[in-house]
A and B are shown apart, each in its own frame.
Chain A
Amino acid sequence: MSLATMTRRDWLLSERPQSRMQARLGRTYVTWRRFSANRLALAGLAIIVALLIVAALADVISPHSPVIGDLRGSRLLPPGPEHWLGTDGQGRDILSRLIHGSRLTLFVVVLVAIIAAPVGLLVGTVAGYAGGWTDAILMRITDIFLAFPKLILALAFVAALGPGIENAVLAIAITSWPPYARIARAETMTVRNSDYIAAVRLMGASPLRIVILHIMPLCISSLIVRVTLDMAGIILTAAGLGFLGLGAQPPLPEWGAMIADGRRFILDQWWVAAAPGAAILIVSLGFNLLGDGLRDALDPRGGGQ
């Protein structure tokens, strides 16, 4: 960090970097410049940063309790000065629930990414590097999971594991690793026979070492893009589970479950379902914009696919 503050643009963009560090920082800087030139991507970043802040400060900024409501006094109130987004069927403040729900959303997204991405990476790189039977078996397993209807598989896992947000995370992770494995395998196949890997192999590195130290890092940038783009999908799947009644446990303010709850009142108290839906939309859009921008920035060849 200290380096970054004292560096100049020229140093970063130098054609002949003096050190590995300089080269890396230079690349990062170029990427950032490309990224920040994309206003939509910046908007996405802003949404995600806002989400992080809201989640971090949930206790401070939420005007009411997210779980305690007044059944008799404040049930299904329309948006107003006291309750900006109205109240729900249990008399709870919807805004406060949305604010606290942001934590759950982050929790799900981050955890799924942490579980699924490394699993996919491992399976993909091992399959791609080893080839032969290992590859065939691992890819068969990947195909089986890919052939499943995703939401139904997640539903089945939640049903088997029992309800709760942790199990929902696990179920979504189980259904989302196969594409990562595919990507990682494809990347591995392209570098497997490269001179660089051949050189490492000649130096006597073990296959495990090659995979972990030399192949995995090469796959990471495309994986990060893919994971960011998948974040929205993860949020939507989690919300879908919540909507079908298998996700968070009441009274947790999970957004999908809030929509499901608001569904009962959709005709007369539309705001109960509208607010959490809008929240999901905004956050997913944020992740999508961010992922999109990242991809363009990291992969200029893609021409902004």
Chain B
Amino acid sequence: MSIGRFLIIVATTYLGLLAVTFFIGRVIPIDPVLAIVGDRAPAHVIERTREEMGLNLPYWQQFLLYVKGVFQGDFGRSVLTTNPVMEDIRRVFPATVELATLGTLIGALIGVPLGVLAAVKRGSVTDQIVRVIGLIGYSVPIFWLGLLALLVFYARLRWTAGPGRIDVVFEYTFTPITGFYLLDSILRRDWAAFRDIFAHIVLPASLLGYFSLAYISRMTRSFMLNELSQEYIVAARAKGLSETRIIWAHALRNAAVPLVTVIALSYAGLLEGSVLTETVFAWPGLGLYITDSLQNADMNAVLGGTIVIGSVFIGINLFADLLYRTLDPRTRNA
């Protein structure tokens, strides 16, 4: 695919994304002016605000104005928070990324060995159990599991901290640098804050981790099955290599390329799919931000958030694709 064609594809996808979101935003039967002026505002105040926001213009004109702004790097202001949308997103997005990263880490560290195990013991009880664990991960309503986890680990056992990212206690002793709190607390060598932040993130991250574990372990299993049936494995066995070595050093290494792709895709899924988890854990991330904004017809915020998530999705897919193309010998030759 030529660069030019690729750029056209990305650009049209973006434009489509913008257009769809924009028009949904305009047909939503919520008056965005209400969010600004409140229910009690006199009629003339409402009318004036509507004009100030440009909501009296025809839709297509509003859309053009918006797109023009976006090209100049201006995504408008959020009605709810009164900040420029990009400033808000810079604040909330690290929270989502941090959660998704830790979740993917947990999912990969547990999911890959599980998948390997299932493939090696194909058809055994172990295999079936791994399969059921995976399927349950696909089947469980994550918001429900989150509620129960909060109930058990926070309310009853008091093992973890509650909803939110950090205790208020640290609000004025801990200043974030990057917005990734775990990293920031390490950079600042603030171990008390680190403990607190960790106690907050561990539950939602484990939930997301379970979710991605389900996917990763299934895919690992199938990749491994594929590798284990290859001739070089038979050859390796014939050479008398130990089974452990064959599995981990040869088969898994060869399965690594598609696996990285799968992990990347699962990461993208967590980034965009954490709306419900963020709701349950009051996690101030992008998903929660978009949902809140949507319910207030704060369309600048929704559009900005959607673009960011869309970009991440497109970006990670592209990355996975490229990785696959450059690393995998089969596609490289094809």
Binary CB contact string for chain B from 279 to 323 against chain A (1 if under 8 A, 0 otherwise): 100000001001100110000001001100110011000000000
B24 touches A267 (CB 8 A): no
Q: Is A155 an interface residue (CB 8 A)?
A: yes
- A281 proximal to B (CB < 8 A): yes
**B294 pairs with A273, CB closer than 8 A:** no
Which residues in A have their C-beta under 8 angstroms from that of B151? Answer: 266-267, 270
Q: Is A239 interfacial (CB-CB < 8 Å)?
A: yes
Q: How far is the CB of B318 from chain A (nearest CB, A)?
A: 11
Task: Given the known inter-chain contacts A141-B16, A147-B310, please indicate yes or no for A243 contacting B294, CB distance below 8 A.
Answer: no
Interface size in chain A (residues, C-beta < 8 A): 48
Chain B residues closer than 8 Å to A130, beta-carbon distance? none
| Residue from A263, A284, A289, A302 within 8 A of B222 (CB atoms) | A302
- Rounded to whole angstroms, the CA-CA distance of A140 and B14 in the bound complex is 10
A-B interface contact total, Cβ < 8 Å: 148
Interface digits, B23-63 against A, CB 8 Å rule (1 contact, 0 not)? 01101111000000000000000000000000000000000
Give the residue name and chain of the B residue nearest to A255 (CB).
B141
Cβ B310 vs Cβ A148 within 8 A: yes
Answer yes or no: A64 CB below 8 A from chain B CBs.
no
Do B140 and A284 have beta carbons less than 8 Å apart? yes
B130-145: CB near A (< 8 Å → 1, else 0) gives 0110011011111111
Q: Which of A79-87, A157-165, A206-214 sits within the interface?
A: A157-165
If A40-B128, A160-B27 touch, does A240 touch B141 (CB 8 Å cutoff)?
yes
B155 at the A interface (CB under 8 A) = yes
- For the complex, is A305 an interface residue (Cβ under 8 Å from B)? yes
Q: Which residues in B have some Cβ–Cβ distance to A below 8 Å?
A: 9, 12-13, 16-17, 20-21, 24-25, 27-30, 122, 128, 131-132, 135-136, 138-145, 147-148, 150-151, 155, 218-219, 221-222, 225-226, 229, 272-273, 275-276, 279, 287, 290-291, 294-295, 302, 305-306, 309-310, 313-314
Closest 9 CB pairs of A and B: A284-B139, A277-B144, A144-B16, A305-B222, A149-B272, A285-B139, A147-B310, A288-B135, A156-B24
Interface residues of A (CB under 8 A from B): 40, 140-141, 143-152, 155-157, 159-160, 162, 232-233, 236, 239-240, 243-244, 256, 259, 263, 266-267, 270, 273-274, 276-277, 280-281, 284-285, 287-289, 292, 302-305
